[in-house]
Chains A and B, each alone.
Chain A
Amino acid sequence: MCGIVGIYLKNKKLSKDLGKYLTGMMEGMATRGPDSAGFAIYSNNKKSKEYKYSICLLNDFSFSAFKKIIIKKFKKLKLKQHSDHVVITSEENPKKLLSFISSEIKDVSLVGYGKSIEIFKQVGNPRDVIKNFQLDKFSGTHAIGHTRMATESAITTNGSHPYSTGQDECLVHNGSLSNHNNLRRNLIKQGQTFGSQNDTEVAAGYISNSLSKKISLKETLVNGLKDLDGFYTFITGTKEGFAIVRDEIACKPAVIAETNDYVAIASEFQAMAHLPGVNAAKIFEPEPGVVYSWGK
Chain B
Amino acid sequence: MGEVIKLDLKKKSLRDVNSVLQNLDPKSNLRNYLISNPSGNHAVCAGLKDEMEVTVKGHVGYYCAGMNQKALVTIEGNVGTGVAENMMSGKVHVKGNASQSAGATAHGGTLVIDGDTSSRCGISMKGIDIIVKGSVGHMSAFMAQSGNMVVCGDAGEALGDSLYEAKLFVRGSVKSLGADCEEKKLTKKDLELLTSLLKKGNIKNVKPKDFKKYGSAKKLYNFNIDNVSEY
Contacts and interface: CB of A to CB of B under 8 A. Distances in A.
Interface of A: 28, 250-251, 253, 255, 268-274, 279, 283-285, 287-288
Contact of B59 (A250, A279, A287): A279
A267 to B, nearest CB: 10
10 contacts: A28-B40, A250-B137, A253-B81, A268-B40, A268-B62, A270-B41, A273-B39, A279-B58, A279-B59, A279-B77
A285 B118 contact: yes
A269 B99 CA distance: 11
Nearest to B101: A251
B61 A270 contact: yes
Contacts of A287: 137
B36 to A, nearest CB: 11
The B interface is mostly helix, strand or loop, or mixed, namely loop
A270 B99 contact: no
A283 B62 contact: no
Contact of B40 (A250, A271, A285): A271
B124 interface: no
Contacts of A255: 80, 99
B110 interface: no
B167 interface: no
Please indicate which of the listed interface residues A250, A270, A279 has the most CB atoms of chain B within 10 Å of its own CB: A270
B97 interface: yes
Contacts of B40: 28, 268-273
B78 interface: yes
B18 to A, nearest CB: 16
B97 A270 contact: no
A271 B59 CA distance: 12
A284 B97 CA distance: 8
A248 B158 CA distance: 12
B74 interface: no
Interface in B6-49: 39-42
B146 interface: no
Contact of B119 (A28, A271, A288): A288
A236 to B, nearest CB: 22
Nearest to B57: A279
A269 B78 CA distance: 9
B62 A273 contact: no
Interface in B72-112: 77-78, 80-81, 96-97, 99-100
A287 B96 CA distance: 17
A285 B42 contact: no
Contacts of A272: 40
